[in-house]
Structure 1
């Protein structure tokens, strides 16, 4: 495969070519949705039998009947097999993630006196049951376990379960189990892909149905979520990884190249760009990539080369810093790094990004694992309307209202006029003299 990174000079691109740079791998899910439909139907009809069959046929995993749920012994064995220093780092990360999300938790209830004697407010309560999707197809992701489990536990969700694809031996990645237990989650199911989404939507003999599913996944998972969105709340749209590394003229292009590879190595369906208005930075980054590839494992080289030499990655050269801002805001990336000696100078101009990491000491790696803010982020330009996974994704909000007898007449009069104007007679009757008579008779 070529070492030549794709180079996109915005000044030479027409509108169609520029628009093509904004496309992600899940932009066209039609083929995945068609292929996911029979998987979903089979899980709904056959339950565990379908999950076992798909584990074998799709994941190449030997999961035995009755073994879809991880046992306590499997959790214990995981702690024995994971190196103590890795467990220490998982504990460190969970501590920071928990601290961040505890600060994020909203006030349980608030009320404000909007008029004398009339009160309105909000109350937050946990969602009853949530499924957390942890991918495994292109690697093991205890980090996703931490990022999804901790806010769910902090929110107080009563029933939390993790779904993750099994290994060839029919087990679950050991560090994922360690992270789950430390975070406070004890239910883990050995199923992934579209079949996992169907399982938690409909329930099976082993898998309990959930009210909501969150977590990133492949186009198969994204497709299944769309197909099942009327059955289960599918949360924020988190698909294959994507990143923009914005580098101004004050930084070394080699640093931009190094960080470009972070998300590109997730898989060939990822998207990753360096965006710069500096020709020198672009040239230095291009020249540095082969050396970095020489220091990576073969699988990650294959994945990142596929991204960076293809149509969804590479280097984007702009004509000005403003054009860089405009491209980034149009792209609305999942991850954005601002590489600059003065990153805050650029921050105000960039409004469309799910995560913004500033300065040369804040690579995506730190945010993905240990900084604290959630690394489960909206992809495919959904950063334009929603943000990272948070405690509030595991809570539901109820409006609270209370009107005293003293405040009632003023509010009722205005409400009655509006009800009459809109033609709703029962609305009008409910705040008419008929109510006054009933209330007076009941005293």
Structure 2
């Protein structure tokens, strides 16, 4: 497969190596220019703009001002349309996701005595309203519904709403409605793309305004989040899917090729790289790809072939595994699989990866659907500073302080010294002898 992108790190210039880490949404200028009018239309026209864009952009038929929100009848119908084994798989995934996030949830409040008589700590309370974005353009994603609702429900957010593009029939994907109902979320809007971000940010006649929006989306969604970041909290940067397979000489190149396709099949704007120090693994992967493509649907073959023959995917051969790990950290992938019979030996060398899956029995598929850790992850090198979607993303943290008469003197003395040094007289007065006249005995 000579058309698959194949790079040898040692042969690349610094500029060529830097090009390998670029993502599809690195330059959003085109999308930002295009989403501006969409945002303004939603802000000024409300529901009418949502119906228009749903009809024109999503090609949805039958979308009206009266059915932008999924009805109870649509929820009930969804359970008749989805096969029972799919419903049970959704139940299984939701249970594991909830278990994981319940363990992750912080204590509602903690206090520690920092010096005798003085206490400091944190209190966690849920955000009042959060929009959960579930994409649909290149497939249906009840798994994203599971991943976004799981930590939100554990965090006890009182107002949750799912935003997802309508299908050609003007309806929400049935499995997405099933996942929403089983997770405990009853508000689902048939709105996607940049218009969904705008609706969540400003509210409309039907859509209730949210304080935050989370969930992965296309560059259109990413651009809208960026433009509206001063109006609504855009959450972690989750754009088109990306994966990096780090493989050593202990595994089959055919296995590496199979797992490389997991995220590459999401769409032509995905990123997917196999990084290995083994020329054997690289060669086997190249030879195995046609066989794997023969077992995929035509659309997914087209998507993944576009990725692996373009600038955002392919095979990279490193000098050794230290060089390979260094490139992983430079890339900071959304999903990272460490394919090796000694995967834990490389774990300490990885610092920048949103999700790290260890060994030959932990493909991204299992993490995306069933294992429990959240699969809504930062993309475009966001893993250098961000982590996966978590319970804390749905909570606000308040610092708590409590000082008793016993702890006050030492704190006041030191606070006054620093207040005087920085020239803040009111700061100093508040902890000076002047305070005593107002304190209870």
Normalising by the residue count of structure 2, what TM-score does the alignment of the two structures yield? 0.99
Deviations 1:343-401 (A, max 9, x none): 10111111110000011110000000000000000000010111000011001100000
For 1:24-423, list aligned pairs within 5 A: 24-62=23-61, 63-423=63-423
Cross-structure match for 2:434: 434
Q: Distance between the aligned counterparts of 2:438 and 2:288, measured in 1?
A: 81
Deviations 1:24-76 (A, max 9, x none): 00000011001000000000000000000000111101212210000000000
Q: Is the 8 A contact 1:241 1:271 kept in 2?
A: yes
- The Cα shift of 1:138 comes to 0.2
Cross-structure match for 2:8: 9
Q: Distance between the aligned counterparts of 1:347 and 1:7, measured in 2?
A: 25
Note the residue ranges of structure 2 that are not aligned, 5 or more in a row: none
SS of 1:208's partner is coil
SS of 2:169's partner is coil
SS of 2:439's partner is helix
Q: Which runs of 4+ in 1 moved over 4 A?
A: none
SS of 2:336's partner is strand
Q: Is the 8 A contact 1:242 1:379 kept in 2?
A: yes
Q: Distance between the aligned counterparts of 1:169 and 1:65, measured in 2?
A: 15
Q: Is the 8 A contact 1:247 1:338 kept in 2?
A: yes
Deviations 1:217-267 (A, max 9, x none): 000000000000010011100000000001100000000000000000000
Q: Distance between the aligned counterparts of 1:108 and 1:204, measured in 2?
A: 33
C-alpha RMSD of the superposition: 0.8
SS of 2:352's partner is coil
Q: Is the 8 A contact 1:257 1:288 kept in 2?
A: yes
Q: Distance between the aligned counterparts of 1:116 and 1:90, measured in 2?
A: 51
Deviations 1:157-193 (A, max 9, x none): 0000000000011100000000000001000000000
Give the stretch that moved more between structures: 27-36 or 406-415: 406-415
Q: Distance between the aligned counterparts of 2:2 and 2:10, measured in 1?
A: 24
Q: Is the 8 A contact 1:334 1:353 kept in 2?
A: yes
Q: Distance between the aligned counterparts of 2:322 and 2:431, measured in 1?
A: 56
- The Cα shift of 1:438 comes to 2.2
Q: Distance between the aligned counterparts of 1:241 and 1:406, measured in 2?
A: 55
Q: Distance between the aligned counterparts of 1:3 and 1:71, measured in 2?
A: 51
Q: Distance between the aligned counterparts of 2:431 and 2:322, measured in 1?
A: 56
SS of 2:43's partner is helix
- The Cα shift of 1:3 comes to 7.0
Give the stretch that moved more between structures: 51-60 or 4-13: 4-13
Q: Is the 8 A contact 1:47 1:205 kept in 2?
A: yes
- The Cα shift of 1:4 comes to 2.3
Deviations 1:92-138 (A, max 9, x none): 11010010000001111000011110000000000000000000000
Deviations 1:275-300 (A, max 9, x none): 00100000000011011111110100
Q: Distance between the aligned counterparts of 1:231 and 1:65, measured in 2?
A: 25
Q: Distance between the aligned counterparts of 1:205 and 1:438, measured in 2?
A: 51
Q: Distance between the aligned counterparts of 2:345 and 2:409, measured in 1?
A: 54
Q: Distance between the aligned counterparts of 2:334 and 2:421, measured in 1?
A: 46
Q: Distance between the aligned counterparts of 2:9 and 2:116, measured in 1?
A: 59
- Report whether the alignment pairs 1:18 with 2:17: yes
Q: Distance between the aligned counterparts of 1:77 and 1:116, measured in 2?
A: 62
